[in-house]
Amino acid sequence: MAHAWYRVEQFCKRNALYWLEKLLAREVLAPAQVNLAEIKRILVVRQHDMLGDFILATPVLSALRHNFPRAHIGVLVREYFAEVVTAHAEVDEILLFHEHGTRWTLRRAWSLWRQLRRGWDLTIVLNTVSHSLTSDVLAYFSKAKYVLGSEHRVFEGCARNFFYNLLAPYAAEEKHQSERNLDIVCHIGVQPQHAAEVMYLTRIERERARLKLHEWGWHSHGLVIGMHVGAGKIANRWPIEKFAELAQQLHEELGAQVLLFWGKNENDLAEKFCRLVRFAPIKIMPTALREMAACFTFCNALVCNDTGVMHVCAALNVPLVAIFGPTPPALWKPIGESFLALYGRDQTTASVSVGEVRAALLTLLKKFPQPQAALAASPDSFSNSPATAGNAFQS
């Protein structure tokens, strides 16, 4: 029954899009027809995909700010993603799209509508990992003179991505996801400065994290290693026994304090980790994204799986070793020399040994001995520094 309904649903969608394209398709412009000087308000739409996919798109914000220093830049995102761009130096306005219908009220819908219709000159849809019809419709209602998106991932039944009048070419060769996002804005002559993922924290957020860590037993001297043992996809999890073995070695041989992180539905992983080790790790209970991120910055380095947490750390320039299983790191690992990826020989995380992770971690610690919180240069906020995260397109 479910399969039959899915086929009916797809049939209706194809036919609806066919007629929408007939009615709403915009004439495609060449990049030379875009008057960049008249672009004063830019809206970036990325309310779809996962957390890591969104953070991989943040280099676009830096590129836009560099090329349009006086422009008003807004981002249309889900509630959860909004935490990534809160206090972001390149973002002037956040438009919230609520993923679940129960979160919508008339007031919230009216607020989003007013923001959408405020007068955008350029709307950019970053449709790299998937193509969201909702994102395209939101871009249409922005009424921007220019709507830019990738020519890739055309909806079934359509001739092209008809909501856009600027179509960025899609390179056939394999590319890192940050490059894919940057390719879209490069189509109109935007010059990227770097491909580093970027997130900002405030001084107050860092100080709150420091006080909480002190309460939980952390001290500011000595080696601090963070371990995030979870991942939404089971296949992306390094075995918890290996996490525990590595933690025990680091604690016994290097005197490391271990900060243990996990996700909200992963209490079983944390409990098993604590049973396997012969010391008491500092347990960081699942909390809001920005609170967890602030705690990451007090770690000398972090060991984690291929998940959104990896990109949060990279966006704050926290050195990390990430274990990859089914997904090729060349396309998804954060760009920069302080981020190392270990790829399972048989495309499983279990084939990555404790010794390999330990060796990679020690390499990072020699090169980057100070935790990011100790290196914060600004009294108000700090983020990943493109200068230290590696240049654009370096993986």
pLDDT tens digits, 283-340: 999 999 999 999 999 999 999 999 999 999 999 999 999 999 999 999 999 999 999 9
As given in the structure block, the two tokens for residue 314 are: 């990279």
- 2-186 fold: Rossmann fold (3.40.50)
Mean pLDDT for 243-270 is 97
State the Cα–Cα distance between residues 264 and 49, nearest whole angstrom: 20
Contact of 269 with 246, CB cutoff 8 Å: no
Q: Which amino acid is at 333?
A: K
- Across 287-314, b (16+ Cβ under 10 Å) vs e yields eebbbbbbbbbbbbbbbbbbbbbbbbbb
Is the predicted pLDDT of residue 395 greater than 90, yes or no? no
Query: What are the residue ranges spanned by the domains of the chain?
Result: 2-186, 201-389
Q: Where are the alpha helices (DSSP H) in the chain?
A: 2-24, 51-56, 58-67, 79-85, 106-116, 133-141, 177-186, 203-215, 240-254, 267-276, 289-296, 308-315, 329-332, 354-367, 372-375, 386-389
Residue 28 has pLDDT above 50, yes or no: yes
By the 8 A CB rule, do 310 and 235 touch?
no
Q: State pTM to two decimals.
A: 0.90
**Longest CA–CA separation in the chain, Å:** 68
Residue 390: its pLDDT value, please? 40
Which own/partner pairs from 7-13 qualify as long-range (CB within 8 Å, at least 24 positions apart)?
10/156, 13/133, 13/155, 13/156, 13/157
Q: Is 339 exposed, middle or buried (0-12, 13-18, 19+ CB in 10 A)?
A: buried
Measured CA to CA, the distance from residue 40 to residue 92 in angstroms comes to 12
Contact 28, 108 (CB under 8 A): no
Q: What CATH class is the domain 201-389? A: alpha beta
CA 373, CA 301: separation in Å to the nearest integer? Answer: 12
Mean pLDDT of 18-39: 94
d(CA 123, CA 116): 10
Which of 224, 217, 228, 208 has its CA nearest to residue 51? 228
pLDDT in tens, 40-68: 999 999 988 799 999 999 999 999 999 99
